[in-house]
Amino acid sequence: MGNSTTGKDLFRSVAKLFKTHLLSNYLFHFVFFIIGFSIGIIITFYFKSFSFTSQAFLNSYQYSLLKPLKPDQQYSNSSSNYSNNSLISLNDEDLLRRASMINSRIEELVGVPKVAFMFLTKGPLPLAPLWEKFFQGHQGLYSIYVHADPSFNDTVPETSVFYGRRIPSQPVYWGTGTMIDAERRLLANALLDTSNQRFILLSESCIPLFNFKTVYDHLINSKISFLGSFDDPRKLGRGRYNPKMWPQINITDWRKGSQWFEVHRELANLIVSDQKFYPIFQEYCHPPCYMDEHYFPTLVNMLSPESNSNRSITWVDWSRGGSHPRKFGWVDINDEFLNQIRFGSDQCLYNGNKTSMCFLFARKFLPNTLEPLLRIAPLLLGFDP
């Protein structure tokens, strides 16, 4: 019995020893597992945080590129919803470089696509109340940029859509390269806001022909740009080509068109990025060669012809000839006249389909058209949101 007890005891103790051994073995494996696991976790975290840091670094780098270096007080205190990226105060070279870089950096669209309305003006916007009505209720779908003469003193009320939307500007002289500079300045500022997808250039004498929704849909859904471009064989066209522009620019590349363009983001980027053809135009295109009538059309024809409809989306009346288009005053404003512009044109192509809506905007409307326009706009254009 004792023996057996001893035997049992021995068995027990052996079993205990065995169990302890097994336990310690388990424990050993467990500890080993824990250590391994921890190392794994630590390594994973290390790399994660590393990639996170580098992402944060890139973001801050990108941000520092976009942030104004020297914010101009007059322009930066905009109490609006607009992106902080716009309205920056840089010299043209930096501005254009930054604007052309942003497109390749940020491919994806940030937020809802917006239309950039770029107003190239001398001073005040006499038709501003009409535009206010046009934009009313559509915040978040548009951005406004105003390039006015630097000497012009603003008196824009804070409630206005134009408040705080002036960009740092330079004087513009009709028919010279300063006009192109101003347009590129506007494009560059607007490109910095990545949600801007379409870019329309307007003047103080322009009016909208449809309500915001119609204009927005028409532009955002268009596959191509609306930049007037045609080959004019006459003296007023090809006659302005300077053979010294060859070989970079062949006379067969030469185009003419209205400066009042509407472009999509890719073309806007292409325009602010151009460093090759701009200097050639600056050197060889002087009156009677007008840069604002030839530079954009020729550039787009050479670099991206298939992305352009070759027609302007801004109506103007050249029917009387001469070097300036017809101006319209208050006596001209009535439903019949405006509907003629809105729907009365020859059939135009829109995404491959015929449309009678060739134009979304029109010029040149004198300040005294404001009152009759405000009167008929709500019913005719359906301005009320």
Ligand X SMILES: *[C@@H]1O[C@H](CO)[C@@H](O)[C@H](O)[C@H]1NC(C)=O
The binding site for ligand X (CB under 6 A) comprises: 73, 77, 79-81, 84, 139-140, 151, 153, 158, 246, 250, 252, 301, 305-306, 308-310, 351, 353
The whole-angstrom separation of Cα 316 and Cα 181 is: 23
Which residue reads 């609306």 in tokens? 226
The size of the chain, in residues, is 385
Instruction: For ligand X, give the closer residue by CB, 203 or 301.
Output: 301
Nearer to ligand X, 310 or 369 (CB): 310
Minimum gap (Å) between residue 351 Cβ and ligand X:
4
d(CA 317, CA 26): 92
Q: Which residues of 229-248 are buried (b: 16+ CB within 10 A; e: fewer)?
A: beebeeeebeebbbeebeee
Judged by beta carbon, residue 86 or residue 205, the one nearer ligand X is 86
Q: Are 161 and 144 in contact (CB under 8 A)?
A: yes
Q: How far is the CB of 79 from ligand X (least distance, A)?
A: 4
Min CB(221)–ligand X separation in Å: 7
Angle, CA 125 vertex, CA 159 and CA 180 arms, to 5°? 120
Q: Which is nearer to ligand X, 44 or 80 (CB)?
A: 80
Report the nearest approach of ligand X to the CB of residue 32 (Å): 51
Sequence-separated (6 or more) residues with CB below 8 Å from residue 240: 254, 256, 285, 288, 289, 290, 294
How many CA atoms lie less than 13 Å away from 374 in the CB half-sphere? 13
Toward ligand X, which CB reaches closer, 134 or 365? 134
CB closer to ligand X, 197 vs 298: 298
- Measured from the Cβ of residue 77, the count of other Cβ atoms closer than 10 Å reads 11
Q: How far is the CB of 301 from ligand X (least distance, A)?
A: 4
**Residue 305 CB, nearest distance to ligand X (Å)?**
4
Q: Check: CB of residue 189 under 8 Å from CB of residue 145.
A: yes
